[in-house]
Structure 1
Amino acid sequence: MDLAYIPSPSTGVINLGPVPLRGYAFCIIIGVFVAVWYGNKRWIARGGKAGTVADIAVWAVPFGLIGGRLYHVITDYQLYFSEGEDWVDAFKIWEGGLGIWGAIALGAVGAWIGCRRRGIPLPAYADAIAPGIAFAQAIGRWGNWFNQELYGRPTDLPWALRISEGVNREAGLYHPTFLYESLWCIGVALLVIWADRRFKLGHGRAFALYVAAYCAGRGWIEYMRVDEAHHILGLRLNVWTALVVFLLAVIYIVVSAKLRPGREEVVEPGAEPGAVEQAGQQDADDADDADASEDEAPDAPKDGTGTPADDAPEGTDGAADDAVDLSKDGAGNGAGTAGSKG
């Protein structure tokens, strides 16, 4: 008797009259909104303009969806173009099947187009949206839960995923790899946020860290899956992809840090430097202004005894009066000279 397990939805579609709400599509849409919302906050903090992330996302998101679907269809072509299969199903994206590798690759092309139209460096934009993409993936993976797909090997662990009988699947308890990857993506997002604050990553290194960290987790999660996939030298295709992309991301981080250290000061034409740097510069400017004000304030002229000249006792000797006048004249000229130098 199974005492504990994660149940699967009996259906992945809720019909509101003639309008079907599909859990998979709903998760993808929520993920996109989260990525754009959080990316916008990070972009503004870096000194960019509000709304820029959304404007570029208009290019990046459609390209990403097309790229993700193309990767899935190409690498799992037997599901759509084998004997007895209907090739029209390749266009039914709501039934599941988005490859993150294709989504990121072609999504980057769309982002590059959007950035180029606004004169924005793509690496700076990628750094801003990197954690948001990881959060979006964490949300999107729950779409696989609605579709009862991409689960792992059978298990009797308390958090096993219960799968019902269906097309190309057998009922049983399996590793919830969708949950593993969702939690891993949250950890990746938090890692990038921390590292970006700690080391002030720039020139695409925050995005490269996201890619490397995601690939590190995707490798072992992919190894647990039991769905049909192509194998090369005994390993699933996506495991090899994760390894190669991980190495490329690490190499980029190392080389970029040497060639272009630091972080971009201005990320968008007509925008001010980033909020953190701008706040620090403002504090320094305020301190300089305070010092300058102290330097420019003239001291009251004093006589030889330290008593202010205006308060000196009236003298009966004309020479004393002349000395006081000379003292006033000399002090005034000195104060004026000091003020001009400040």
Structure 2
Amino acid sequence: MGTRDRVDESGVPPGLPDGTLFHPTFLYEVIWNGLGVLVLLWLGRRLRLQWGRLFAVYLIWYGAGRIVWESIRIDPSEVFFGLRSNVWAAILGVLVGVVILIVQTRRHTGFEASPYRDGRIRADAEVESEHDSHDYVDLSAPPADEVDAGAPATSTAP
């Protein structure tokens, strides 16, 4: 049975009486996401979630909401093992968020390096990581030999 057989032109499944009310899932999702922004901003400042941990919390928060909203929707969606495919995708998002949170919490115990130039760094920001900043190449300036090779020849003629 195709999608067209399950709903009419108005998007309402056939067989429902006129005046049937539905949950405003878009409103629920807007409220959930707005609250999520406030929670993420608060957690980002309060717990100083770095090294991708704030993104992991976002995946968990958003996925948890999607699991609920997709479970009460009536629009057509494929069903696998008793759950809509959209719910499975949300569950996958939550699991990825949990994995990122666990891995990054174990891998990086300190704070990230500051993106500010010298003189703008906060005094309490220390990098504690298994990686050394000297292991990376600075690509912001070309090597000195390339600069000398590209310089125009100066003439001493009168």
TM over 0.5: yes
Q: What does residue 11 of structure 2 align with?
A: 169
After superposition, the C-alpha distances for 1:97-136 in whole angstroms (9 at most, x for unaligned) are xxxxxxxxxxxxxxxxxxxxxxxxxxxxxxxxxxxxxxxx
Q: Distance in 1 between matches of 2:84 and 2:56?
A: 23
For residue 31 of structure 2, what is the amino acid of its counterpart?
Answer: L
Question: Higher mean Cα deviation, 174-183 or 184-193?
Answer: 184-193
- Of Structure 1 and Structure 2, the greater helix share is in 1
Residues 212 and 250, structure 1, Cα contact 8 Å, conserved in 2: yes
**Is the CA contact (8 Å cut-off) linking 1:209 and 1:253 kept in structure 2?**
yes
Q: Which residue of 2 aligns with 1:272?
A: 117
Equivalent residue number for residue 254 of structure 1: 102
> How far apart are the structure 2 equivalents of 1:251 and 1:209?
11
Aligned pairs for 1:156-305 (under 5 A) are 167-170=9-12, 172=19, 173-267=21-115, 271-272=116-117, 278=122, 281=123
Give 1:1-342 correspondences, 5 Å limit.
167-170=9-12, 172=19, 173-267=21-115, 271-272=116-117, 278=122, 281=123
CA contact (8 A) 1:184 1:217 kept: yes
Larger Rg: 1
Q: How many Å separate the matches in 1 of 2:31 and 2:117?
A: 36
Q: What is the one-letter code of the residue matched to 1:169?
A: G
Residue 206 of structure 1 aligns to a residue whose secondary structure is helix
Q: Structure 1 residue 168: deviation in Å?
A: 4.0
8 A contact 1:201–1:262 mirrored in 2: no
Q: CA deviation at 1:190?
A: 1.1
When the two chains are superposed, the root-mean-square deviation of aligned CA atoms in Å is 2.4
Q: Secondary structure of 1:226's match?
A: coil
Deviation at 1:249, TM superposition (A): 0.6
User: In 1, distance between residues paired with 2:63 and 2:91?
Assistant: 7
Q: Retained in 2: the 8 A contact 1:200–1:262?
A: no
For the residue of structure 1 that corresponds to 2:114, the secondary structure is coil
TM-score (norm 2): 0.63
Cα shift at 1:189: 1.0
Distance 1:264 1:175 in 2: 43
Aligned equivalents of 2:92, 2:59: Cα separation in 1: 11
Distance, in Å, in 1 between the alignment partners of 2:110 and 2:69 is: 34
d(CA) in 2 for partners of 1:249 and 1:239? 15
Whole-Å separation in 2 of the counterparts to 1:169 and 1:237: 19
The list of structure 1 runs, each at least 4 consecutive aligned residues, that deviate by more than 4 angstroms after superposition, is none
Query: Is the Cα contact below 8 Å between 2:59 and 2:96 reproduced in 1?
Result: no
> For 1:251-274, what per-residue CA distance to the aligned partner results, in whole angstroms no more than 9, with x for missing partners?
11011011012332233xxx427x
SS in structure 2 at match of 1:208: helix
Task: Spell out, residue by residue over 1:20-58, the C-alpha distance to the aligned partner (whole angstroms, 9 max, x if none).
Answer: xxxxxxxxxxxxxxxxxxxxxxxxxxxxxxxxxxxxxxx
Kindly state the Cα deviation for residue 244 of structure 1 after the two structures are TM-superposed: 1.6
| Percent sequence identity over aligned pairs | 35
What letter is aligned with 1:263?
F
Output the CA distance in 2 between the equivalents of 1:192 and 1:272. 26
- Aligned pair count reads 113
Which runs of 5 or more structure 2 residues have no equivalent in the other structure? 13-17, 125-158
Q: In the aligned structure 2, how far is the partner of 1:179 from the partner of 1:247?
A: 25
CA shift for structure 1 position 202: 0.8
C-alpha contact 1:203 1:264 (8 A) present in aligned 2: yes
Residue 150 of structure 2: aligned partner: none
Contact in 1 for aligned 2:51/2:104 (Cα 8 Å)? yes
TM-score, normalised via structure 1 length: 0.31
